[in-house]
Chain A
Amino acid sequence: MSSRNIFYFIVTLCMLIGISMTLYRHIQFEVPWLPGEKRQIWSIEAKVEFDAKGESVEAVLALPLTQRGYTRIHESTASLAYGLSFVNDQDNPRAIWTKRTADGHQEMYYKVDFLVDPKAVDIYQPQMPDTPFTEYPEPYFTAANHLAKQAEEVSADAYSFTRELIKALTDETASKSQNTGLILDYKPKNRLVVDLLNNAHVPARIVRGLQLEDGRRRQGITEYIQVFKDENDWQIFDLATGTQGRPENTLLWEYNGNSLLEVVGGRNSQVTFSMLLVEQSAQSAVAPKISEADFLNFSIDSLPLEEQALFKGILLIPIGVLIVVLLRVLVGLKTSGTFMPVLIAMAFMQTSLITGLIGFLLVVGTGLVIRGYLSHLNLLLVSRISAVIITVIGIISIFSVISFKVGLTEGLKITFFPMIILSWTIERMSVLWEEEGPKEVLMQGGGSLLVAVLAFLAMNNDYVRHLTFNFMGIQFIVLGIILILGNYTGYRLLELRRFKPLADREG
């Protein structure tokens, strides 16, 4: 009796571990129960390059923070033999690479992931800059003042003034005017706009943003004008068009009035950016937060992406197995080969259901005909199955070629079928045919296909995929259920029909 108690203890333990792991992941890491919508993540890599002069080196790179529209979720760096420290001042976050001596071309990388997040807000309000007065030599000063005055006349506040100013320096007509041509020769537009704004007591400065474009490499930073109306009210202006507001798909890399990159001990320094847009499900978007956690958070998020994809399939197998156990133990369906339906269901997941079903029937049907001939040869089993395997490969190749020629690229997916499994299926069905007749083949084959389709539907379900991939605890729960089912000694559903005459006998 005590062995029963141990059994129930193990089952309870499995269930408890499973449920608590699942709840823990849900509560602690906010992994949602349901598969959420896709979230976009910008993966941006900044490459800092300079030529070291053979003395001690210090490279300081300004780092972006969570801001309106973008949440910073992960950062990492790569640099050979450099000391690295992150300074996480809110008004001046930066990475500092240091080395005692360095010579020659130096490269270092900083990678950051930003989640596209409409709910994100600036976590830091930049300090309003002073408005130093800048004097230009004549005749530039008069020209500039004239330009500023013109803009001021047609504007109402700091923002409209900025807009008009940029427009005046950008317009078709403006470029032809002597005034603008003159001063733009003297100073670049970005400096000029800031100076003129400051001279009119409008706090403004140049900030740097990164235009996000999927797959761009070695992209430079774009400059914008940041204009303050008051302490908490500021706007970004596009220098090229004068458009007010943050441009779409632009990440402000540095908007606190600090330098982007400072290198001591090097020359020809520059920073370039590469970026990639990654579509991820909402829960893997929060994965970085998870992967840093402790042992209790046993999860496959910590594995490389390729292995994760593999596991996504593997973790579904227990669900298919559970379906088989349910249908055999509770319903009493006959299948040919206990877990063959799960393997067929796995193949269906690659091929899609209809293609898979048609392909399966075609291959097994043709295989049975050919196997029927082989049985006349009275071969030894291993040779016979080997011959069937080669035949199956032949059938699959022929079907693939034919379907491709006909223009059905779907047919190519037939190659996803596990050929050894198919061969064994054909062998078993064929033996069954000889021994029990076609009716039994239809029953067992149909049963197998029915179970395979049900297993496929369960394994292909979005919710099931989401749950098994994100909650390892589910595996323990499934194990617990299977153990309980293994202990089920009640009647199978089909036995209720089989034994009905017996139950109805007498009173």
Chain B
Amino acid sequence: MLSQFTSPFKLARKGIMGMNQRNTGYISRYNPRKLYPLVDNKLKTKIIAQRDNVTIPALIGVVRTQHDIQSIIPLLHKHPGFVIKPAKGSGGKGILVITKQESGVFFKPSGAPAHEEDVKRHCSNILAGLFSLGGSPDVAVIEALIEFDSCFDGFSFEGVPDVRVIVFQGYPVMAMMRLSTAASDGKANLHQGAVGVGIDIGSGRALHAVQFDRPIEKHPDTDRPLKELVVPHWQRLLELASSCYEMSGMGYLGTDMVLDKSNGPMLLELNARPGLAIQIANGEGILPRLKLVEKIVAEGVKHDPLERVEFSKTEFSR
């Protein structure tokens, strides 16, 4: 029983951040409360991202009232693939993905058909607040489908692989890829069984992989060795993540990014309360990196986004 636990001193020596420290030392200190709606509402995030020229999936339309639902269908027929998501949803809930359509019938990635009525009802559910935090009324955001880069084939099972980068005061400090598995039911949430792969900030290469907080070597469904994973366009992706600091004003931020086949790295969403599993995926505590950034900021060093990325690449490379 006791052998399942480790000593707090050992964790502290490794610079591992706990939930209490994250909450009081970083989130509440560096993330101004009034900026939360920007991050928690995907529509608002999109608007500021467009303002700051941050690459995001194109916005097709917004459904704000039940009445809008009728008029949105003709618009959807013009786009072969699209995603409908609730603006205030969290954890990937309420996201409807349509990859293609044939003679008026929409198809989900799994090949299951979705009729016009299904799409309408999904929009209606989003408006009613079925997927939003606390059930508050919501709006449905419809955006263009991301065509995932084929470089991740075999690393992800049935789902969207995304890259999370923790950006602290504008410096990308730690990164991981989240790969869905059969256990996670195509979702990229680590606590549901997705694989987390720590990514080297310097090179974009895989460092270490975990599932259910325990180290693994191969993807459990495809058996591909996770060590082979390399994220392309790494420099561009880091710059994108870094620029989210100016865009959102959040000091401690989780940025979720995807790689589009033609457009490269894109910002999918922001997270003001990123979890701690990224440390396990990296096999390393995040605190020494945060402390280093705090130190140089305290010393009055001012970097532009590009300099910040270079700083991170040299300091946090493994």
Contact = CB atoms under 8 A, between A and B. Distances in A.
A329 interface: yes
Contact of B20 (A329, A501, A503): A329
B112 interface: no
A319 B128 CA distance: 39
A428 to B, nearest CB: 10
A100 interface: no
Contacts of A488: 20
Interface string A490-504: 111101111111111
Contacts of A495: 11, 18-19, 276
A501 B19 CA distance: 17
A495 B12 CA distance: 12
Interface residues of B, number: 37
Contact of A500 (B5, B25, B93, B121): B5
B20 A492 contact: yes
Given A498-B213, A503-B6, A435 B19 contact: no
Interface in A462-507: 486-493, 495-505
Contact of B5 (A379, A486, A497): A497
A332 B19 contact: yes
Contacts of B125: 378
Contact of B6 (A435, A492, A504): A504
Contacts of A431: 135
Q: Which 9 A-B pairs have the closest CB atoms?
A: A381-B135, A489-B21, A491-B18, A500-B6, A496-B5, A503-B6, A503-B10, A491-B8, A495-B18
A490 B20 contact: yes
Interface residues of A, number: 28
Contacts of B128: 378-381
A332 B18 CA distance: 10
A435 B91 contact: yes
B129 to A, nearest CB: 5
B135 A435 contact: no
A332 B128 CA distance: 33
B248 interface: no
Contact of A503 (B4, B14, B24, B91): B14
A135 B24 CA distance: 97
Contacts of A103: none
A503 B279 CA distance: 11
Nearest to B280: A502
A107 B139 CA distance: 75
Given A435-B91, A501-B213, A501-B280, A492 B19 contact: yes
B215 A435 contact: no
A436 interface: yes
Interface in B2-37: 4-8, 10-12, 14, 16, 18-21, 24-25
A435 B132 CA distance: 12
B78 interface: no
Contacts of B20: 329, 488-492
A501 B214 contact: yes
B6 A489 contact: no
Contacts of B6: 496-497, 499-500, 503-504
Contact of A490 (B18, B130, B136, B215): B18
A96 to B, nearest CB: 68
B192 interface: yes
23 contacts: A329-B20, A378-B128, A381-B130, A486-B24, A489-B18, A490-B21, A491-B11, A491-B12, A491-B18, A491-B20, A495-B11, A496-B7, A499-B16, A500-B5, A501-B213, A501-B280, A502-B16, A502-B279, A502-B283, A502-B284, A503-B14, A504-B6, A505-B283
Query: Which of A486, A490, A499, A500 neighbours the largest number of chain B CB atoms within 10 Å of its CB?
Result: A499
B11 A503 contact: yes
Contacts of A490: 8, 18, 20-21
A495 B279 CA distance: 12
A329 B22 CA distance: 12
